[in-house]
């Protein structure tokens, strides 16, 4: 996740009126099930193209297991999955040799894009930095 996408999601999180869902449907009072225009707009603002809600879930699961070394059981519970096997499908383990390459791409992307802002963040996104 590059810094611009991270900041875009942070800004959206600061505008939330509740803490359970990142994208709350004001009509139903629960999460959105499908918001292709919203996700397209966020991706465009961040300069990363279109992505979906599941891309965020995959990233969070992979990040927590790979970088933060949480167990599959813990990640599975966070994702509200009953089966660890399904959680394992979410995990996209990053080759340790590619971490430096990815970090340099994120640095380059960040320096060529908008500067980040500080402020209160989204609880689960704070774990992503």
Q: Report whether 51 contacts 39 (CB < 8 A).
A: yes
Mean pLDDT of 37-44: 82
The verdict on pTM exceeding 0.85 is no
Residue of 5, 3, 100 lying closest to 46 (CA atoms):
5
**How many beta carbons lie within 10 A of that of residue 65, not counting itself?**
21
- Please tell me the predicted confidence (pLDDT) of residue 110: 52
What is residue 55's predicted lDDT score, i.e. its pLDDT?
81
**pLDDT of res. 66:** 83
Instruction: Tell me the two tokens of residue 20.
Output: 């359970």
Query: Where do the DSSP E strands lie in the chain?
Result: 24-25, 30-31
Question: Domain coordinates of the chain in residue numbers?
Answer: 1-51, 53-111
């Amino acid at each position: 996740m590059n810094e611009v996408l991270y900041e875009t999601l942070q800004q959206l999180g600061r505008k939330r009126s509740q803490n359970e869902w990142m994208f709350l449907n004001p009509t139903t009072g629960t999460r959105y099930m499908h918001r292709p225009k919203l996700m397209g707009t966020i991706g465009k603002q961040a300069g990363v193209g279109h992505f979906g809600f599941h891309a965020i879930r995959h990233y969070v699961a992979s990040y927590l297991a790979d970088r933060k070394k949480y167990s599959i059981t813990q990640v599975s519970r966070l994702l509200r999955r009953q089966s660890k096997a399904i959680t394992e499908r979410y995990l996209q383990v990053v080759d340790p040799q590619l971490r430096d390459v990815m970090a340099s791409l994120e640095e380059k992307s960040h320096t060529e894009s908008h500067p980040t802002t500080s402020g209160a963040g989204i609880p689960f996104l704070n774990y992503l930095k």
